[in-house]
């Protein structure tokens, strides 16, 4: 992660810490990830095409917890780890796992064609859905709405680059309310614990 990315992420965590402090004063479910219930600094919905071209919004997944993750198919570490952990969590949840929808928004639509993105997410779990912004403006908007940082990190050739991006997920409850900010690397059991609370 670049210095700029670290500074952006640090500012985001400071804002979230304030929300967590307020939330701790209330008798709410004790999530292991950061509870951001009621935080108006983040988007409350999205409207993005999936890999078949169908426009998706939160309303499509009413009755399910939604995990919104930003990443890209060429990601060397964070993305595959997060998607694999979530898949294991869904398996451990049993039938409740069917009430969770994982969505990955690509921050690299230039390389992540609909076909490639669809193959990538389904390789982790057949239920996953990839969302691909139709253009730069749509990507900028959804990233701004959810305060997601992303930037191209040049490689040895023009096509050989990586993307610095916010390494976290946003979790909505079955009623469509934003509830959690989940940093990467929390582990499978943290996902299982928090998703169970949201689904109860």
**Residue in the structure block whose two tokens are 């965590």:** 13
Q: Which residues are annotated as a binding site for Cu cation?
A: 75, 79, 165
Residue ranges for the known binding site are 75, 79, 165
Place of tokens 């997410």: 121
Question: For 189, how many CA atoms within 13 A lie in the half-sphere containing its CB?
Answer: 0
Q: For 30-97, what is the HEC assignment?
A: CCCCEECCCCCCCCCCCCEEECCCCEECHHHHCCCEEEEEEECCCCCCHHHHHHHHHHHHHHHCHHHH
For CA atoms 168, 24, 196, 44, the dihedral sign is negative
List, in sequence order, every residue forming a beta bridge with 183; answer none if it has no partner.
Answer: 168
Cα–Cα distance measured from residue 46 to residue 51, given in angstroms and rounded to the nearest whole number? 15
Does residue 143 contact residue 108 with C-beta atoms inside 8 Å?
Answer: no
Angstrom distances, CA of residue 49 to CA of 95, 133, 185: 28, 6, 28
């Amino acid at each position: 992660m670049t210095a700029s990315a670290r500074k952006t992420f640090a500012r985001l965590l400071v804002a979230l810490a304030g929300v967590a402090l307020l939330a701790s004063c209330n008798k709410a479910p004790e999530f292991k990830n950061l509870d951001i219930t009621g935080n108006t600094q983040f988007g409350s919905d999205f409207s993005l095409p999936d890999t078949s071209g169908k426009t998706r919004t939160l309303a499509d997944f009413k009755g399910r917890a939604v995990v919104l993750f930003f990443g890209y198919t060429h990601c060397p570490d964070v993305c595959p780890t997060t998607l694999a952990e979530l898949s294991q969590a869904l398996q451990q949840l049993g039938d409740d796992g069917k009430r969770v929808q994982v969505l990955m928004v690509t921050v690299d639509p230039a390389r992540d064609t609909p076909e490639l993105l669809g193959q990538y997410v389904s390789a982790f779990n057949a239920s996953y859905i990839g969302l691909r912004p139709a253009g730069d403006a749509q990507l900028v908007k959804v990233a701004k709405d959810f305060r997601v940082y992303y930037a191209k990190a040049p490689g040895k050739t023009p096509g050989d680059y990586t993307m610095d991006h916010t390494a976290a997920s946003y979790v909505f409850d079955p009623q469509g309310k934003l509830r959690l900010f989940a940093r990467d690397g929390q582990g499978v059991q943290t996902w299982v614990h928090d998703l169970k609370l949201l689904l109860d």
